[in-house]
Structure 1
Amino acid sequence: MEHQGITISCYDDEVPPFVEAEIERLYGNIFSSLLEFRIYGWSGADTGTYVERTNGKITTLIVFERRRGRVRVLNQGIRIGADELNRFAQCLFSQDRSIQVISLKAIETDIEHSAFPMQRFNHLEDLALALPTTTQEYLASLGKNTRRNIKRYMDRLMRRFPSFSFEVHECGEVDEKEIRALIAFNRMRMAEKNVVANIDEEETRHIISLAQACGLVGIARIDGRICAGAVSYRAGNNYFLNLLSHDPAYDDYWVGFLCCYLTMCACIARGAHEFHFLWGRYEYKYALGAVQRDLDNVHVYRSWLHFALNANMAWEAAREGYLRRAKLWLKYGDRPLSKRIRKLVEAATGLRHSLSAMAGLRRRCLLQSNPEN
C-alpha cells in the first residue's frame, strides 16, 4: 500500500525478525522495545506489525495486539504524529472489518482531529533531557544554584564520609542483591510517609531482569555499604531512570540527588543522547535540567456506532482522563481556588498524620505500662 510517497506494510499476526533492531534504532525507548514487552509477559500471540517506509527507510513502526475486535498498541512513550496515527487507523480499519477500536497508551502526539471518532486524554508526563556531549558541558548548563549545591553537598559528604565512593555496573555485571537493597530503601521511605510501596516481588523481578539485560546501575557506598543507587535502562542511545533511592540515614547529605547526577554523568560518558527521568514532577528533576513531555492515551473508534458499542471503554477512558485533570489542577494549579483547596488538603493530611502518630505513641505507652498485655 502506498500513500503520498509513503509505503505502508501491515504484517498480520506477525512480528518480522527485523523489528527488534529497527524499533530500537527508530525510537530508542525502553517502553517501545521487544525486550521490555517480553519481560512483562508478551508472548507474541495475536500480534501484528505496522510499518511505514519513506524512500525505503523505516520511519514508523507500531506493534499491536488484536483481540475480540479491539487493537491495543504495545508501543509506549514514543511520538506518533497526527498524520501517522490517522494512516495507521485507516489501514487497520480498512483491512479488518472486525476491528471496532484502536487504543494507544502513553504516547506523545499532536493529533487534534481524526477521520474517526476519537478520545484523547493526558495519562502522565515524561521528564526528559537532551544531553550534551561532555559532563563539563552538562554541569555548565545547569542553574547557578544547582551547580553550587552539587559542589557544596559533594564536599560536605566527602568531609564527613571520606570513604564515599561511586561505581557503575552494566547489564551482566548488575548484582541482584544491590537492586533489592535499593528497593528496600524505597520501601523504607514510603513507610515513613505511610504509603504502601508499589514495587512488589513480581515488579522486583522485572526490574532485575531488565537491569541485567540493558541496565546501567550507579551505586554509592559509605564504608563499603550501599547508601544510594540509581537504576536506569538503555534503549538505543537513551537512558531511562526507573529507580532512585537512598538510605534515609543520609537524608541530610543529598546522597540520592548526587547519585542521580553521577549516574547521568556516566550516561554522558557512554555517548547518551537523552536521559529520561520519567513520570513524577519532582523538583530535583527540573533542577537537573529535565523538560516535561506530555504523554496521552488515545482511543480511535471505527464509527459512532462502535463508540456506543464500546461505551464501557469510552466511559472508563473519560473518567480516568477527567480525574487526572482534576488532580493536576488541585496539585499544580496556580488559580486562587486551587491554591486554597490545596492548603486545606495539606492541613487535613498533616492532621491525619499527627493523629496517627499520637495513636501509635499512646499504644506504645499502654504496652509499656502493661507489659503482660
Structure 2
Amino acid sequence: MNVATTIDHDISITCYDNEVPPFVEAEMDRLYGNIFSSLLEFRVYGWVAGTTSTYVVRCGGQIITLLMFKRDHGRIQVLNETIRLEGDDIQRFADFVFQRYPDVQTISFKAIEIDGDDLSFPHQRFNHLEDITLRLPASTEQYLASLGKNTRRNIKRYTDRLMRTFPSCRFEIYEGSSVREEDVRALIQFNHDRMADKHIVSVIDEDETRRIIRLVKGCGLMGIMTIDGQVAGGALSYRAGTNYFLNVLAHAPCYDDYWVGFLCCYRTICECIARGGTEFHFLWGRYDYKFTLGAVRRDLDNVTLYRSWMHVARHADLALQQARDGYARQAKLWLKYGDTAMSRRARQLMQHLRKAKHAAQDLSRGKRPGLIQSAPEN
C-alpha cells in the first residue's frame, strides 16, 4: 500500500510500504549519483526488496528526495549512505514518518553529509567517516593545470622514467563486462601483500572479492598498467550517474620507485573526465596522495532522531551506542591527525608500541626483527 500526502501546492510526498517501484533505480542514479545509494550495490550486498519501503518527495512533479528504508521493532534505518541531505530534507522525512507510523520511535541515517541540523526532534549527530572528493573539471588539460607545480613536474618525470625503463609499459581502461576477473584479483593480491608488510590483514577476503567483481562487472571502470604483459598496478572504481568511486588502488611492490600507483590513479581520473564525469570520490582515509591530486574532505555523519525525549530514554541502548562510537571516532582522529603536543607524543608512543609488537611477531615466526628505535622527541 502507498500513501500520498500534499505538503503544499508544489511539494507532495508518496510512501510505498514494503515496495520499491521500478522507477527508483534510474531516479537514484540521477538524483544522487552515488554507488552507496544505488540498487546495484544494495543487491550485491544482500538487500532484500520485500522488506524495504520507499519515500519519494516531488516538487512540481520532479523527484527531489528519494529515500529507501527498513522498519523494524519501532526503529527505521535509512539505507541511502554517503549522500548529501539538507536539514529540511531530514526534518520533512521525520515529520512524515512519525505521523505515518505511530509505532516508530527512532530514525537512523548512516554516513550522510548534512547541511544544517536545526531539527525539531531530539537527535544525535556524530562523525562516522570522511569522503575525500575531487570535483572534476571539463578537460584533462584543466585538471593537470589545477595541480601543484611539483605534482605536474613529478607526473611527467615519473612517466618518462617509467617508459624509458620499461618500454613495454601500457595503460588501458576496461569498463563493465570487459573488466577481467584475473586483473581484479591481481590488484587485490597487491593490496594483500602491502597490508601484510604492515602486519595488517586486508579487509578484502574472498567473499568481498566476489562482491567487488560483481560490482565492477555491473558499473566498473578499471585502469590497468601492464609491463611485459603482466599487471603492474591499477585503479578500480565504480560509476554511479556521472560520478566515480575509487575502491582499490594497488601496484606490485617491485615498482615502488616508479610512482606506479599514483600514475594509475591520475590516469584513471583523466579517463573519468574524458567520459564527462562530475566527481571522483577517493572515499575514506586521509592519505596525502588524494589531496595532492586535488581532492577535499567531506565529513559524513551518523544522525539519529527520536520521537521525544522520553523515547531517548526508552532507547538508551541505541543512544549510548551512538555516543560510544562517536566519541571513539573523535579519539581516533585526535590520535591519528591531531596537531597538539599531546597528540603528537601519543602518536609517537603508539608507533613505538606497534613496532615492538611487530618485532615480537617476527621473532615468534623465526624472522630476524629489525632494530627498534624510540620515536624522536619534538
User: TM-score scaled by structure 1?
Assistant: 0.95
For residues 275 and 296 of structure 1, what CA distance do their matches in structure 2 show? 20
Tell whether the 8 Å contact from 2:244 to 2:277 is kept in structure 1 after alignment: yes
CA 1:362 to 1:203, structure 2 compared with 1: closer, same or farther past 3 Å?
closer
Match of 1:92 among 82, 92, 97: 97
In structure 1, list runs of 5 or more residues that go unmatched: 365-373
Tell me, what secondary structure is at the counterpart of 1:80? strand
SS in 1 for 2:273: helix
Structure 2 residue matching 1:122: 3-state secondary structure: strand
Between the two proteins, the alignment pairs up a number of residues equal to 364
Mapped pair 1:73 → 2:89: no
Paired residues for 1:1-373 under 5 Å:
1-4=5-8, 5-361=10-366
SS across alignment from 1:108: strand
- The amino acid of 1:268's aligned partner reads I
Distance, in Å, in 2 between the alignment partners of 1:363 and 1:331 is 29
Shift of 1:359: 4.7
CA contact (8 A) 2:13 2:57 kept: yes
SS at match of 1:162: coil
Q: CA deviation at 1:316?
A: 1.0
29-38 vs 7-16, which deviates more?
Answer: 7-16
Letter in 2 for 1:167: E
Look up the match of 1:367.
none
Structure 2 distance, partners of 1:307, 1:33, is 31
Distance in 1 (CA, whole Å) between partners of 2:357 and 2:306 is 45
Paired residue type of 2:359? S
State the distance in 1 between where 2:356 and 2:207 align. 35
Cα distance in structure 1, aligned partners of 2:49 and 2:351: 46
2:293 & 2:116 partners in 1: Cα distance?
A: 30
Q: Deviations along 1:117-171, whole A, 9 cap, x unmatched?
A: 1111000000011101111111000011111111111111111111110001000
Provide the identity percentage: 59
SS of the aligned residue for 2:114 comes to coil
The Cα of 1:218 is off from its aligned counterpart by: 0.6
CA distance in 2, matches of 1:249, 1:313: 48
Aligned position for 1:370:
none
CA offset at residue 362 of structure 1?
Answer: 5.8
Aligned to 1:369: none
Distance 1:22 1:341 in 2: 47
**Alpha-carbon offset, residue 353 of structure 1:** 2.8
> What is the TM-score with the length of structure 2 in the denominator?
0.93
One-letter amino acid of the structure 2 residue matched with residue 57 of structure 1: Q
Cα offset for 1:356?
3.6
Per-residue Cα deviation, 1:232-280 (whole angstroms, up to 9, x for no partner): 0000011000111111111111101100011111111111111000000
Letter in 2 for 1:28: G
Aligned residues of 2:111 and 2:300 also touching (Cα < 8 A) = yes
Q: Do 2:29 and 2:38's aligned partners in 1 also have CA atoms closer than 8 Å?
A: yes
**For the residues of structure 1 that align with 2:222 and 2:325, how far apart are their CA atoms?**
34
Q: Distance in 2 between matches of 1:80 and 1:237?
A: 18
Equivalent-residue separation in structure 1 for 2:150 and 2:350 (angstroms): 31
